[in-house]
Amino acid sequence: MSDSTSSKCCGSLSYDFAHVLLRLWVGMRLFMAGLDKFRWGNGPTVSFGLDNYAKKTGPLAKLMTDNSFMPQWACDAFAATIGYILIPVGIWVAVGIFTEFGLLAAGLVFLSLGLGLAALPDDTEVVSNIGLSILIVAAALVTSKAKTFSIDGLLSRKKA
């Protein structure tokens, strides 16, 4: 019996494992980026809170306005909402509810982060970090039919 016959016989979970790893990475990355917006300080002086959010995102909005074509109101709106978008989208993707739509939302969030980073003076992180993140989201979308380890996968198994 050849290897190709035995793999067809018993099935393979390689796509399922690849998909869950990619999806968990994207979800974790978005969640942690959102959580970071509420962090102030380092080491033993670190604190998380709503008051830290404005201290952290306000200067970024000003820097984006000063270094791009975008008006102040657009940069302020972006900075005021991005942290609140990152956290739920990260959770959404990690648990795998409406997997394809969640991954599309994650890709769009990464694109918006790329736009924000491109508006900053040193935009090298756009290609190295955001571009790679978008490729990972695309790979997760390509493998999204193999969603055994997701809420979608659990619900579809119960129906069958």
Helices (H) and strands (E) in the chain, counts: 8, 2
Phi/psi at 47 (5° precision): -140, 150
> Does 153 fall in a domain?
yes
Classify residue 120: in a domain, yes or no. Answer: yes
pLDDT of residue 4: 47
Beta-bridge partner residues of 47: 40
What is the residue-wise DSSP string for 119-143? TSS--HHIIIIIIHHHHHHHHHHHT
Predicted confidence at residue 11, as pLDDT, reads: 60
Q: What is the predicted pLDDT for the residue at 158?
A: 58
Would you tell me the crossing angle of helices 72-95 and 14-36 to the nearest 10 degrees? 140
> Does residue 68 lie within any of the structural domains?
yes
Q: Name the residue range of residue 139's domain.
A: 14-159
pTM: 0.84
Residue-level pLDDT, tens digit, the chain, 160 residues: 444 444 454 468 889 999 999 999 999 999 999 999 999 988 888 989 999 999 989 998 998 899 888 899 999 999 999 999 999 999 999 999 999 999 999 999 999 998 888 887 777 777 788 889 999 999 999 999 888 888 988 888 755 4
Residue 5 placed within a domain: no
Is 74 inside a domain boundary?
Answer: yes
Assigned domain for 121 exists:
yes
Question: Which positions ≥6 away from 33 have C-beta within 8 Å?
Answer: 86, 90, 113
Question: Is residue 114 situated within a structural domain?
Answer: yes
Predicted confidence at residue 68, as pLDDT, reads 86
Total tally of structural domains belonging to the chain? 1
Q: Kindly give, in sequence order, each residue whose CB lies less than 8 Å from that of residue 61, ignoring residues fewer than 6 positions away.
A: 72, 75, 76, 78, 79, 80
